[in-house]
Structure 1
Amino acid sequence: MPSRDRERTRRRLLDAAFVEFAAYGVAGARMERIARIAGCSAGLAYTYYGGKDELYDAVQAEVVDAAAVEFDASDLPGYAARLYELQHRHPEFARLATWRRLERRGTVSRAAEVEAIRAVQESGLVSSRFAAEQVLELVLAIASMWSNAPAVSSDHVVRRRTVEDAVRRLIEP
């Protein structure tokens, strides 16, 4: 029974940290708030994760990466649409990604995605008018462009289609 309680506490800490980091970023997040939301002491939070940076890394690895949409270089419009859907349904993912770009520059390696795009460019499925790195950044930007804008349900369908169409036009050979 104790191991299950430890796992439940660890999960509550991750969930609380996800909310805290999405709202305040790493710099603004407070371990005391995270612990309070998780229903444990700050000392226990430090025992589990060592500190705020380690907890942030755990959130990235266990919460964000687990919810990540499947990347498919041969279907970049579909990937962008799925990413838009995730951010529409869960805006905290978009906020956390923004904080990550602001506070942890250069720590995200997208080498595998860039290489996959390069391969589909070489096969002729995706235009080579932009470098593979630029294609990836443009696809991510298009998918995220409405992440902070409120949408009524009818806008959502149009926005999703627009994201998909914009990426399709961007990459067409």
Structure 2
Amino acid sequence: MPSDSPTPPAASAPAAARGTRPRDAEATKALLLRAATEEFAQHGFAGARIDRIAERAGANKRLLYVYFGDKQALFDAVVADQAAAVFRAAPMDDGDLVAFAAARFDYVLANPEAGRIAAWRAFEQLDAGDAEVANFRSRVDTVAAAQRAGRVRGDLPAIDLFAIVLRMTDSWLSAPPALRAVSATPALSAERLREHRSALLAAVRGVVRPQ
């Protein structure tokens, strides 16, 4: 049986990893998942390296294979973890698409790795996991219920209305650099982000308002 004791971290490992020596399997697994998230967000699936992930985590590389299986399974675990975090941060139990847009924008702004992981996954691997599909299906069903209750417009299919709002929440954070350069204030300055957030919510209200 492999040991759960991490090997001493390399000198270049992040401070968090250098100062942490997990005592159990779950702590080691969490460190590896965190390190993998950073690596995949920076390099994507193809460019990520298992050696660097283990080094980031300050853990034995063998444990990565023990806990996750292989690079593909590790990437899938990172995608699932990030998607679940976004869904938790932006609930939509009552079909309130404006509140959803605000919460999702705020979360992705505060956690840019979530947006980068999603972009890499869409670019490199189009298959979605069952849990993520189920999460999106529940969102679409919630929008459909809100349409039947008259809380949001009902003249568009629920799946399209949700897809439009979802992409609107990314409209500035994933905007082309050339468009960002047109802004009179720095693209990611607090002033510009407040301005865009206000515009985003106003636009979503206009899109989802019952006709």
TM-score of the superposed pair, with normalisation by structure 2: 0.74
Q: CA deviation at 1:13?
A: 0.5
* Residue correspondence of structure 1 range 37-48 to structure 2 within 5 A: 37-48=56-67
Q: Which residue of 2 aligns with 1:144?
A: 170
Classify 1:151/1:71 alpha carbon distance in 2 versus 1 (closer, same or farther; 3 Å). same
Q: In the alignment, is residue 55 of structure 1 matched against residue 74 of structure 2?
A: yes
1:8 to 6, 15, 27: 27
More displaced 10-residue stretch of structure 1: 62-71 or 90-99: 62-71
Q: CA deviation at 1:67?
A: 4.8
What is the CA–CA distance in structure 2 between the aligned matches of 1:87 and 1:70, rounded to whole Å? 10
SS in 1 for 2:96: helix
SS in 2 for 1:26: helix
* Residue correspondence of structure 1 range 98-137 to structure 2 within 5 A: 98-107=119-128, 108-109=132-133, 110-137=136-163
The answer to which structure has the higher helix fraction is: 1
What is the CA–CA distance in structure 2 between the aligned matches of 1:63 and 1:97, rounded to whole Å? 8
Q: In the alignment, is residue 71 of structure 1 matched against residue 97 of structure 2?
A: no
Q: CA deviation at 1:64?
A: 4.2
Q: In the alignment, is residue 93 of structure 1 matched against residue 103 of structure 2?
A: no
What is the CA–CA distance in structure 2 between the aligned matches of 1:67 and 1:124, rounded to whole Å? 27
CA deviation map 1:78-121 (0-9, x unaligned): 11111111111121111111122223324141111111111111
What is the CA–CA distance in structure 1 between the aligned matches of 2:125 and 2:152, rounded to whole Å? 30
How large is the RMSD of aligned CA atoms in angstroms?
A: 2.1
Larger radius of gyration: 2
Q: Which runs of 4+ in 1 moved over 6 A?
A: none
Q: Which residue of 2 aligns with 1:20?
A: 39
Q: CA deviation at 1:63?
A: 4.6
Is the 1:81–1:161 Cα contact (8 Å) retained in structure 2? no
Is the 2:95–2:145 Cα contact (8 Å) retained in structure 1? no
Q: Alignment length, in residue pairs? A: 173
Q: Percent identity?
A: 33
Q: Which residue of 2 aligns with 1:81?
A: 102
What is the CA–CA distance in structure 1 between the aligned matches of 2:164 and 2:40, rounded to whole Å? 25
- Structure 1's unaligned 5+ residue stretches are none
SS in 1 for 2:95: helix
TM-score of the superposed pair, with normalisation by structure 1: 0.89
